[in-house]
Amino acid sequence: MNLSNQKILIFGGGSGMGLALARRCVEAGAEVIIAGRGEQKLKEARQALGNPASLDVAAVDIGREDQVAALFAGIGSLDHIVSTAADIEGAYRLLPELDLKAAQRVVDSKLFGPLLLAKHGAPRLDATGSMTFVSGIAAYRPAARGSVVAAVNAALEGLVRALAVELAPIRVNAVSPGWVDTDIWAQVAGDRKAETLAAMAERLPVGRVGQPADIADALLFLIGNGFTTGTTLHVEGGHRLI
């Protein structure tokens, strides 16, 4: 894909799927801005991508409207906005152990955050532009300890459909990944990360768990396909079949 003369904002671009997408976009000739809360993580992401002149970073909390509004006020016009941001620390708990503050952080990062990006970012987008968010398999295959994440992923997909109608002709879509080998699994499974992912790989029809690049490719498809909106693209190795 040729993304020359395209300007793309990626929230959550400091690691995992967002970083993989940033790499794809830079390689395709786009001007890229990666945003996230951690300045050190953003610095490391810039270094990992080779410090290209076409890359900028911005320390912003996606759940803070004042910070999101300030970012868009100084960013100029955009072609595409993507968010892979997800703060799930402490959210995978059985209900008796669930801390409501941890649940709120999931809502802020994966639901209210995209809503704020739409509110303040849509005016910066060209009519041919797009917004793409990341939900997840938990909305379809919920498990014990995952009630909050399942609920937020499902709500995000509802928001995507509503925004696709309200913001048209700007396109709004979601990618729903399955199990992807990212740092998040250290929070979910702890020391059993490798064992947990290996067990799922044996169950999946494709015989492996996902990699960040798999999701980056799906995000790129939605960025580039001008006839897709209000859609959730499932990239989960057949997880919904098992």
User: For the chain, where are the E strands, in sequence order?
Assistant: 7-11, 31-36, 55-59, 78-83, 125-134, 171-177, 232-235
* Site of tokens 């395209």: 6
- Written as six digits, the tokens of 72 are 């868009």
> How are strands ordered across the β-sheet holding 31-36?
55-59, 31-36, 7-11, 78-83, 125-134, 171-177, 232-235
Task: Report which of 78, 38, 91 is spatially closest to residue 61, judged by C-alpha positions.
Answer: 38
163 CB-side CA count, 13 A: 29
Residues 205 and 184: their CA atoms lie apart, in Å, by 23
**What end-to-end distance do the CA atoms of the chain give, in Å?**
33
Q: Look up 135 and say whether it is catalytic.
A: yes
Cα 221 to chain centroid, rounded: 14
| Rounded Cα gap, residues 126 and 135, in angstroms | 24
Q: What is the longest distance spanned by two Cα atoms in the chain?
A: 51
The residue from 83, 109, 130, 135 that is catalytic is 135
Structure letter (DSSP) for residue 112: I
For residues 207-225, one letter each, b for 16 or more C-beta atoms within 10 angstroms of the residue's C-beta and e for the rest, the string is: eebbebebbbbbbbbbbee
What residues are annotated to the active site?
A: 135
